Chain A
């Protein structure tokens, strides 16, 4: 499997941003500062369990489901 991290990140950004581009960009920045290198992950990125766990924790902090 591949692309799970990328898809989860996109879901966090979309759900948290609610269509507001400014907020979506700020969510991206906040994820970088939380230790998730957003631009590193693509639809072809391997499913790293540690990163998946981290994105899940961040999603929970933001109150969104992934």
Chain B
């Protein structure tokens, strides 16, 4: 078996790691990916001790998915052996809020595999994973720079945390705040990336972002007018009611038919704060949220015409809260029980850029 997934609840991190070690006895992982509830202290160190010599990366999580299960207070783990991942290169970029130059680290990662040409000539084998510590709120700028310095596809998400717990990402047996963990996987049988957002275009009217504060994620104007006023006009609702529609009608950049969702946060400082900044010049559509289970099933059924080795689901926390509200957690999770899978409720997803209210899924073939 090339991929194994386990969901562990332990008395503490050491107990969690012990249970993981027992469950994976006889299996030789090349890479382990884990999503851990913040109730576990230093899970990365406990796992590193239990699995010496294994590359281990992860993120803190608000709630965890594993196969057809959903829970919280647990650690969801995917272990990949050399039958699915031939090699992996992990690097950590700290202080991402400072806008680091990523050329050096990507050059180093490409060179690990023999250089950028080697990687890009075998595009079907190499894929990047990225996990952000979400407190830095710098994902969109980081993803823009990452996409500028590499043509390799990176997919992933931003850390979340259970109430009162710390948001962190993990690598090298250490935890990091304000950082991004990057991993390039050389897969044995290839990979696929899925993105499903259960959001559809509400209005064909495209709105031009004419004033925004990208860094602070504040949107001020569409088409030279206050953005709230234009948003209300598109929806056909009174201006004072627009915040009632922020969850059901987010914004989307539509790139050749592919929707990249940006969700609202709140009205602030004469503008509206978003969970992802929008650069001026961007054209957006107002969206409407659809049926998450139906849309996710459709996306998985269309893409998975084969038996995958494993799925990694970076599922927006908004979507988790929505399926809980709609009481459809079980049918949603059953969609992921078809093969070994793990996931967690993210504070933002990564696919070309930083996106919201989306599920980005890395499929290991």
Known: A28-B256, A33-B144, A62-B148. A23 touches B283 (CB 8 A): no
Chain A interface SS verdict (over half):
helix
Question: Which of B65-73, B241-249, B274-282 lies at the binding interface?
Answer: B274-282
Chain B positions 279 through 312: 1 when the CB is less than 8 Å from some CB of chain A, otherwise 0: 1111100000000000000000000000000000
Task: Choose among B206, B279, B352 the residue that contacts A26 (Cβ–Cβ < 8 A).
Answer: B352
Point out which of A20, A28, A30, A38 has the most chain B C-beta atoms below 10 A from its C-beta.
A30
Q: Which of A's residues lie within 8 Å of B, judged by CB? A: 16, 20, 22-23, 25-30, 32-40, 50-51, 54, 61-62
Beyond contacts A27-B151, A30-B147: 19 other A-B pairs, Cβ-Cβ < 8 A, are A20-B123, A23-B120, A23-B123, A25-B256, A26-B151, A28-B255, A28-B256, A30-B352, A32-B260, A33-B147, A33-B260, A33-B353, A35-B279, A35-B281, A35-B282, A40-B283, A50-B281, A61-B148, A62-B148
> Chain B, interface size: which category?
20 to 34
| Contact partners of B144 in chain A: CB under 8 A | 30, 33-34
Neighbouring B residues of A26 by C-beta, 8 Å: 147, 151, 153, 352
Does the CB pair B255–A20 fall under 8 Å?
no
- Chain B residues lying within 8 Å of A37, measured Cβ to Cβ, are 206, 281-283
Q: Which B residues lie at the A interface, using CB under 8 A?
A: 120, 123, 144, 147-148, 151, 153, 206, 209, 253-256, 258, 260, 278-283, 352-353
Shortest Cβ distance from A16 into B: residue: B151
Contact partners of A25 in chain B: CB under 8 A: 256
> Which residues of chain A have C-beta atoms less than 8 A from B281's C-beta?
35-37, 50-51, 54
